[in-house]
Chain A
C-alpha cells in the first residue's frame, strides 16, 4: 500500500534514524484509504505507534475542532502509560495535540470539563465510554469523532466488558458516521472473526486485516527436576530451590501462577530460601490497589528481581527488562501461554524465553502438550462472547438516560454490534420490557415503570433519579463481596467445642472473597498473607482467623483458577496418553506411571472415555477421565450423582480435578454394571443435559452466583459500593432469594436466560460438557478393577483436600439429629 507520511512526522523518525515499520505504514494507509483496520502483532512490535500514527498524521495536516480520537483499553494503567508514551513524540514533533486520560481516578472536575471541552485524544476504558454515552450531550461530544483505537482487543472480546464495548461502538458509529476503527490485538485463533467484530458497526467503509511479522519464535522448556514431581496438589514446592537458582541467574523473572493461593504459597516458598534477600515481590487481585501499584512501579524502576503473579499481569504496561517468564502449574492453553511468554523481552529480534514448571504428574503431560503447541505456534484463544441480555439491558437503559429513543432505530443499531448480530426483535422487545417494568408476565409494576413511552412512540426515562441510579451501576465488572480477615487468639477446635464467643478485635490481615468463607467451616485451615491460619468464624463483615499450628493448610483454596484447560491442549494430552510412542521424552517417573497404568488397567483413548470402577475401604469408586476442566467435571459430577441415586447406586460424594472425576458410594458399581442393572452408555448419555440439569439448576449455588452477577449488570439489583454507607434506600436483597422466586415462577424470564447463557460458558461450563458427551457417545470404555489404578491416584488424593460435593444434601442435619437421639437414649 502507498502511504504518504506528513513531513513533520517523517522528519521526527528520520532524526532518530528510525523509519516506520511496515505494519505501521499499513495502518496509516488503511486510514488514508478510508478503511478501518485490525492489526495483529506480537508485543514489542510498536503497536501503540501503529495505532496513533493516523491520528498524528491527520492532525499534523488538518486542524480539528473537538474530540478526534478515542483510545479504549481494558486497563486504566495502560491508558496512563500510553498517554505518557504519546506525549513525548507529540511534543518533539511540535504538534498541537491535546491528549488526556479519563478513568475512575480522574477528578470529577476534570471529567466534567472534558464533556464540554474535550481533548483531541481521549484515553479511557469501556466503562467510561458507557458513562459518557448516558449523558444528554453525548451526541455533541462524539459527533466530531474520527477515530477509535481499541487496545488488547483479544482480551476484551471474551468478556462482558467486550459486549458493552461493542454496543457503545455501535452507538458511537451512529453519532459519528465518519469514524473509523483501528483495533490492536495479540495473535488469535480466528482473526477473521475479530475483524468482523470491528467491521460490523461501520458498514460504510471496508476493514483491513494487517498482520505484523511474528519476530523470533519463543524458547520454551520444561523445568528438569531431580526431585519427584508429586502425584497431586498444586503447590510446586518441590521446585522452589531450582526456581530460586533460576531467578538468581536472570535479571528479572516473571513467575505466573494460576490462582491467588498458589501465588501465596510460591511467594512464601521462595522467601524461605531467599538467603541473598533478593527483591522478590507478590502481585495478585486480592492485594490492595496501592500494594499492587507499588510493585508495578518498583518493576518499572528495575528494582525487582522477580514477581510472583496471577493473571492480573497478563495484560499491562511493557516492562522492557523481563528476561525470563516462568509458568508454575498448568499452562491451560496455547494462546494464553504465548501471551504470557510475550511478557518477556520486548525486542522483536530476540526470542522470548520461558520455563514451564508442572506441579503434579498430569501437569507434566499438559506442559508437554503446551511445548508442542507453542512450537507449532498453534492458537487456541477463545472466540468472542455472544451478547448477554443483562449487558443489553444496561445499555438500553443508558441510551434512554441520554435521550428518548426510537425502538426501531435502536434495534437496528444494536444488531450492528457483533455480539448482538443475531438478536431477534422479540428478544429486544423483552429486554425493553424488562428495563421498563421488570418484564414479568404478571404486570404488577406498570405504575413504577422506569421507562415511559412518549406520544411520538419514543422511550424516555420516567424521572431523573433513574439516570442517577444508572450511572452508579454502570459497567460489567462485579467486585466479589469482600470481607476483612482479622487475626484473633484461637479458641482451639477440640471435638464438640465449636460454640462459645470468638475473641474479637485483633489485627486485619487483608481481605478475601466472602464466598470463600461459605465453603469452609470453622476449624478449617488455609493459607493467607503468607501464613497458615484457622477459620474461627464470621461476624458481620469480618472473618476471624487464628494462627494455626499446622504446617500444611487443610483447604488449599485452589479453586482451579478461572480458566479451564483448553479443548485443544486437552486433545493433545489425550493423544500423548493414548500412544506409548509419545512417552519417550517424558520424565522417567511420568513414563513409568503411564506404563504401570497400561499394565494394570488401560490408558484413556484419544476419542473414548475411560471409566474405572473399584472397591476401596467399605465404599465403591467410579473414576473417569474426560480432561475437560474442573468446572465441566463438577457439573458432570453433580449430574452423574443424581442419576446414580436413581439407579440405586447410593452415591455419597465426588471430587473433580482438571483431568478426572471420582465418585464414590455404597453400592458395588462394578457389579451393577456387570449384571446390566447400570448402563454406562445411558449414564453418560447427553440427555443428562435435559431434565437432570433443570432439576439441579433449581438449587445450584453456582447458578445463584451467576444469577447475582446478571442481576447486578442488568440493573435489577443495585451494586454494593464498597466503603459507601448504605442509605435506607439501598437495602440489598439477597440475590439467592430473588433467584428462587423467579426461577420457580418464570424459568424463561430473560434474566434466567442470561444466567443460563453465562453458566454454559462460565462456572458450570455446560457447553464444554455437552461437547464432551457428544464426543464420547457410544465410546465409554469400562474397566472394572480390584483396586485403585495408577491414573486414579491423583484425583483420589484430592479427596479431603478439594471441596467434596454431596447430593445427600440434608445428611449433615440428619447426623446432628441422630446424635441428639443417641444422647437422649443414653448411648453417646
Chain B
C-alpha cells in the first residue's frame, strides 16, 4: 500500500466549468468566487419530520444539522448570495413544520445574505421565507435549475444525489461527489438526511459524456478529484 505521494494544497478543490471557476467544498457546497455566491442542492429540510406524520418517529435533528453545515460554509466563504437548487424542503409543507429554533436560525441566515430558492420536485410551490423563489436562474451564462438535462450548455443542477465509488489496490470508498462534463454539472445532495445514487447507475445514463467525465468526491477535510477509470458500481 502506498500513501498519498502528491499532497494537494488547501482544503478546497477548484472546478472549471463553462468558463467559470468554482471551489468545491467538502460539505457538498459549491463556492463561486466571481459572484461571491454559494450553491447548494437538495437540502431536504424537514425530511425526518415528514416520516413522523406517518408514525415513524425519526430523529428531528436533520434540519438542524443541515443548518449547521450551511452556517459554517457561509462563515468560511463569506458568501453574500446563496442559491439553493431545489428540493430545499422535503415537502412544501415542511416550511410550516420547522421547529422554532430551526426557524429562527434559518431566518437569521436569510437575513444575513441574499437568498434564492429554486423550486424542485419536492418543493414546487413558492413559500413565504425571506429571499426569492424562482423556478430557475440564468446567471453569467450559467443555467441553474433543479433537474439535470442535456442540450442546455452550462447547466448546473442537483436532484440525482450523485455518489462515486472508487476501487484502487483492492480497497474501495463510496462518497457523494460533484460530477460534470463540458456541458452539465450535477451537484451532490447537501442535506443531512439525503441518500445517494451511484453516477454509473441508469439514472445518469445519457446525461453526461462518459469520455469527458470529471468527478470530485467529498472527503472529510477536502475534496478528491478522482480518475474516472477507477469508478465502479455499487
Contact = CB atoms under 8 A, between A and B. Distances in A.
Interface string A629-652: 000000000000000000000001
Interface string B36-74: 000000000001110111111111111011000000000
B19 interface: no
A445 B49 contact: yes
Given A810-B220, A812-B169, A817-B225, A438 B52 contact: yes
Contacts of B168: 812, 815-816, 819
A113 B15 CA distance: 68
Given A521-B232, A817-B8, A440 B60 contact: yes
A741 interface: yes
Given A813-B173, A819-B168, A437 B59 contact: no
B52 A813 contact: no
Given A815-B2, A817-B8, A440 B59 contact: yes
A209 interface: no
Nearest to B8: A817
A537 B232 contact: yes
B151 interface: no
A465 interface: yes
Interface string A520-533: 01110000000000
B226 interface: yes
A444 B171 contact: no
Interface in A733-764: 733-734, 737-738, 740-742, 744-746, 749
Contacts of B56: 716-718, 733
Contact of A537 (B172, B217, B233): B233
Interface in A467-512: 469, 496-499, 502
Interface in B186-227: 192-195, 200-202, 210, 217, 219-220, 224-227
B3 interface: yes
Contacts of A523: 167
Contact of B4 (A537, A744, A814): A814
Contacts of B234: 517-518, 521-522, 537-538
Given A448-B53, A733-B56, A522 B232 contact: yes
A502 B201 CA distance: 11
A232 to B, nearest CB: 19
Nearest to A650: B3
Interface residues of B, number: 56
Interface string A430-443: 00001001111010
B58 A539 contact: no
A498 B232 contact: yes
A498 B229 contact: yes
Nearest to B5: A818
Interface stretch (A63-71, A417-425, A575-583, A820-828): A820-828
Nearest to B226: A816
A739 B171 CA distance: 24
Contact of B201 (A539, A653, A718, A729): A539
B219 A812 contact: no
Contacts of B61: 440, 442, 741-742, 744-746
Given A442-B99, A522-B234, A496 B171 contact: no
Contact of B55 (A450, A733, A815, A820): A450
Nearest to A734: B195
Contacts of A680: none
B57 A521 contact: no
Contacts of A821: 6, 8
Contacts of A744: 61, 65
B226 A817 contact: yes
B139 interface: no
B1 A445 contact: no
Interface residues of A, number: 62
Contacts of A749: 59
A342 B155 CA distance: 70
Interface in B146-199: 166-173, 175, 192-195
Given A438-B58, A741-B61, A818-B4, A733 B51 contact: yes
B217 A813 contact: yes
B169 A815 contact: yes
Contacts, number: 173
Contact of A808 (B3, B48, B217): B3
Contact of B172 (A438, A469, A496, A812): A812
A537 B201 CA distance: 10
B234 to A, nearest CB: 5
A469 B55 CA distance: 9
B171 A817 contact: no
Interface in A747-789: 749
B182 to A, nearest CB: 17
A693 to B, nearest CB: 20
B94 interface: no
A287 to B, nearest CB: 25
A820 B47 CA distance: 37
B27 to A, nearest CB: 14
Contacts of B135: none
A40 B65 CA distance: 55
B26 to A, nearest CB: 11
A737 B224 contact: no
B147 to A, nearest CB: 20
Nearest to A538: B234
A287 B228 CA distance: 38
Contacts of A437: 57
Contacts of A218: none
Contacts of B170: 521, 804
A652 B232 CA distance: 23
B121 to A, nearest CB: 14
B60 A498 contact: no
Contacts of A450: 55, 57
Contacts of A442: 60-61, 99
A409 B168 CA distance: 59
A811 interface: yes
A740 B62 CA distance: 10
B166 A465 contact: no
Given A521-B167, A818-B6, A822-B6, A444 B52 contact: yes
A450 B56 CA distance: 9
Given A734-B195, A741-B193, A812-B168, A438 B59 contact: yes
A313 interface: no
A30 B107 CA distance: 72
Contact of A741 (B3, B169, B192): B192
A585 interface: no
Chain B CB within 10 A, most for which of A497, A810, A814: A814
A653 B175 CA distance: 21
A414 to B, nearest CB: 21
Given A438-B58, A537-B234, 19 more contacts: A442-B99, A445-B57, A496-B229, A517-B234, A539-B202, A666-B3, A718-B56, A733-B48, A737-B192, A738-B48, A741-B61, A741-B65, A746-B59, A810-B220, A813-B173, A816-B227, A816-B230, A818-B6, A819-B227
16 contacts: A448-B53, A450-B57, A497-B229, A537-B234, A718-B56, A737-B195, A740-B192, A742-B61, A746-B59, A804-B171, A808-B3, A811-B3, A812-B167, A812-B171, A814-B4, A818-B4
Interface of B: 1-6, 8, 47-49, 51-62, 64-65, 99, 166-173, 175, 192-195, 200-202, 210, 217, 219-220, 224-234
Interface of A: 434, 437-440, 442, 444-445, 448, 450, 465-466, 469, 496-499, 502, 517-518, 521-523, 537-539, 652-653, 666, 716-718, 729, 733-734, 737-738, 740-742, 744-746, 749, 804, 806, 808-823
Q: Which 3 A-B pairs have the closest CB atoms?
A: A438-B57, A537-B233, A444-B60
